[in-house]
Every structure is written in C-alpha cells, then in structure tokens.
C-alpha cells in the first residue's frame, strides 16, 4: 500500500479506536488518565483532534469525559498544585480551549486562568526563561517548550492577552539560542544557567547530547505556537526561520535507509543506538503541519513523507487488537541519576504501545492525512 493509500485508508481513525478500546474494554491504559499530567494531556488532545478531523463524536466525548473528571465547577483542577511550578502540568490544559469554545462553560475558562497564573508567576532564569520545574532550579529543558508555550500562545489569542503570545515567542527564541549547537544545528536537551548540575557542562551549562524526543518536543512546540500568532507578530517570521533551519539540521541526521531518526540523533551506528519512535513521529508531525501551513518550503515534503513511510514500515504493526507502535523510549530526563551521557540515553527501557508514543503517532498520522488531502 502506498503512503497516499495508507493516509486515506483511515489509519488515524484505527489508532484512535485502538487506544479507546484498550481503555474502555481492557482498562489497559486507564492508569494514564487517572492524574493530571502531560502524557494524558497529549493523548486526549490527539483523540480530540481525530474527533474533529473525522467528525466522530465518540472521540470528543472520550476527551471531555476524562477532562471533566478533573475540572471542578469552580474551575479547580483535581491533583494539580500551582505552587509546584511544574511546566509538565500545563500540557493537559490545552484541551480546555476546545471545551470552552464548544460549551461556553465558565469552569473551563477558570481552569485555563489558573494554569496561566502559574506561568505568569513561574520561576525564571535571569533572561526570563521558564525553569522546567521548581525542583529543577535555573534549568530549561526542550521538553518544557511543548508543555507550556503552545498553551500560553493559545491562551493569549483566546483571552486577548497579546503580551502572553509575546512570552511564548520569547521562550521559543531564548532556548533555541541557548541550546543550539552551531556545528550541527541540533539542540541540546537541556541548559542549566547556574552550571551546578552534574549533567551540565561547567563552561556552557549544556547537557551532552541531542536526544531525539527533546528536539521533537521543541519542533512540535514551534508549529503549535505559530498557529496562534497573528501574521503581524514581530517574532513570527524569525521563529518560522529558525524552525526551517532546525528542520534542515534534522534532515542531515535522518537515516537514509529507513527515513527514521535515532535515539541519540547524531550517533548513527554507535553501539546501542536505535531508531526511536517518538522522536520520529514528532518530527513528521511538525514537518507535515509546517508544510500544510507553509512555514516550511515544499522541498521538505519528500523527507517528511520518507519519515512517515519509515514509521509505517519499521515501527508500526497491525493485528486483530488494532494498531501497535514499537521502539518507544519509555522516558528520559536530566537529574543526579540521569546524567545525560550517551550510555544513559540508550539505557532507558524500550517498549511498545506506550501512550507516550501512541499520541505522537496519532498526531503525525492526522497531519499527514490532512496535508495529503490538501494536495
């Protein structure tokens, strides 16, 4: 089956159906939806986008049911604590905007105001960059850009707070400037302004390697933020430009045989490295969306489609239980016992069907389908 046939055969619908059936019938992933957190937030958003794209009320009802289990009548959020100052806790709030637009219920707006209040008072570096978490002082991670910046940009657009769109732009530009390697154009996973952490270079404060998912977080953050920027925003063109430059760097490390990307991006062929699912799906999503919205030049089309073909050929299987995704890094971070070394990144568990990978696969499939439909 060609990629065009695959994209028009409803793969994204089958991915959504697989996940929902596993939750509803087997309870296999219900644990992921029991607390307010970034992975459930991304899953619910991907299912809701499938609901909009396929005009499928069941998908939208699934998202609302789980969101409503957290949102009180007064807009309070069960299991959320503002004073944690944790960027990961913002991500699930992206679903509030759709719910507010569709229902007009004030509780969804109040919950969004609560999350925005966290970001307005969030601890920052000396240049105004959000700390990833209160417990990670003076540290910026690429992960955090996806968690918070698109929420902030959409919040600014929905509630007429243009200064918060400016803030989202500032975060994107600051971390790119601080983490970009001038030789490869790739972005390091994290930066410690204080240079105190064991994983941080003593002179630059940078972590040691280019982790594919971290760059995937940033790539998705950029395109999702830009969608909410007015065309007259003074940083819009700059962010589009650095996004295209970054995608050019990603093409340099794309595996030419499979179209995929490695867990440690620039270490192809090194012992223990492997072609990783989440980063590959995130890059395809970001490039497909950017091509559709003309943030990227059309010359990136072939690389994007090659990446998607690689995901389908090498990482996805399908059986009577549904669609499965393999070679997912279970998780990685930076801390005292997660030192950011090459050996660390390849030591994390590699799993199948984890929600961390399913959501980017669904998002990528939806965007590729939408892009090809518009060709």
> What is the distance between the terminal CA atoms of the chain, rounded to a whole angstrom?
19
Count, residues in the chain = 375
Output the CA torsion 16→18→23→26 (10° steps): 170
The token duo for 53 is 């794209």
Query: DSSP string covering 295-331, please?
Result: SS-GGGHHHHHHHHHHHHHHTEEEETTEEEE--EE--
Q: Which residue, chain included where needed, has tokens 């299912």? A: 47
Q: Are 322 and 21 in contact (CB under 8 A)?
A: yes
Dihedral-angle region of residue 55 (phi above 0 means left; psi in -120 to 50 means alpha; beta otherwise): left
Q: What are phi and psi of 181, to 5 degrees?
A: -90, 120
Q: What are phi and psi of 325, to 5 degrees?
A: -120, 135
* Residue of 88, 143, 192, 353 marked active site: 143
Q: Are 315 and 326 in contact (CB under 8 A)?
A: yes
Query: For residues 53 and 368, what is the distance between their CA atoms, to the nearest angstrom?
Result: 12
β strands within 9-158, DSSP E:
139-141
Going by C-alpha positions, the residue among 169, 264, 137, 156 that lies closest to residue 210 is: 264
Q: Is 88 an annotated catalytic residue?
A: no
The token duo for 223 is 């395109």
Going by C-alpha positions, the residue among 278, 302, 319, 323 that lies closest to residue 11 is: 323
The C-alpha angle 30, 145, 46, rounded to 5 degrees, equals: 35
Q: Which residue, chain included where needed, has tokens 């028009």? A: 8
Dihedral-angle region of residue 274 (phi above 0 means left; psi in -120 to 50 means alpha; beta otherwise): beta
Catalytic positions are 143
């Amino acid at each position: 089956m060609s990629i065009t046939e695959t994209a028009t055969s409803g793969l994204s619908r089958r991915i959504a159906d697989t996940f929902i059936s596993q939750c509803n019938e087997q309870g296999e992933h219900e644990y992921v939806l029991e607390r307010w957190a970034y992975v459930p937030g991304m899953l619910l958003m991907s299912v809701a986008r499938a609901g909009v794209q396929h005009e499928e009320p069941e998908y939208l009802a699934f998202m609302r049911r789980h969101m409503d289990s957290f949102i009180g009548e007064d807009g309070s959020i069960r299991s959320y604590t503002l004073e944690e100052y944790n960027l990961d806790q913002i991500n699930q709030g992206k679903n509030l905007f759709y719910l507010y637009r569709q229902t007009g219920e004030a509780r969804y707006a109040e919950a969004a105001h609560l999350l925005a209040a966290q970001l307005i008072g969030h601890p920052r570096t000396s240049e105004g960059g959000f700390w990833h978490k209160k417990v990670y002082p003076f540290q910026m991670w690429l992960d955090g850009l996806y968690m918070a910046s698109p929420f902030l940009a959409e919040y600014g657009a929905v509630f007429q707070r243009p200064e918060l769109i400016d803030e989202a732009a500032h975060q994107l530009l600051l971390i790119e400037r601080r983490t970009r390697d001038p030789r490869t154009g790739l972005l390091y996973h994290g930066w410690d302004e204080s240079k105190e952490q064991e994983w941080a270079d003593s002179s630059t404060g940078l972590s040691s390697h280019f982790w594919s998912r971290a760059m995937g977080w940033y790539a998705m953050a950029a395109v999702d933020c830009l969608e909410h920027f007015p065309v007259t925003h003074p940083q819009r063109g700059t962010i589009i430009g650095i996004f295209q430059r970054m995608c050019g760097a990603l093409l340099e490390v794309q595996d030419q045989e499979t179209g995929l990307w490695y867990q440690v991006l620039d270490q192809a062929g090194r012992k223990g490295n492997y072609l990783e699912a989440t980063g590959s799906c995130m890059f395809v999503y970001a490039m497909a969306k950017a091509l559709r919205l003309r943030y990227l030049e059309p010359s990136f089309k072939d690389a994007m489609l090659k990446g998607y073909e690689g995901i389908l050929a090498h990482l996805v299987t399908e059986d009577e239980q549904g669609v499965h995704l393999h070679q997912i890094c279970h998780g990685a971070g930076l801390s005292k016992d997660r030192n950011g070394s090459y050996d660390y990144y390849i030591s994390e568990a590699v799993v199948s069907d984890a929600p961390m990978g399913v959501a980017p696969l669904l998002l990528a499939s939806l965007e590729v389908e939408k892009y090809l439909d518009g060709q």
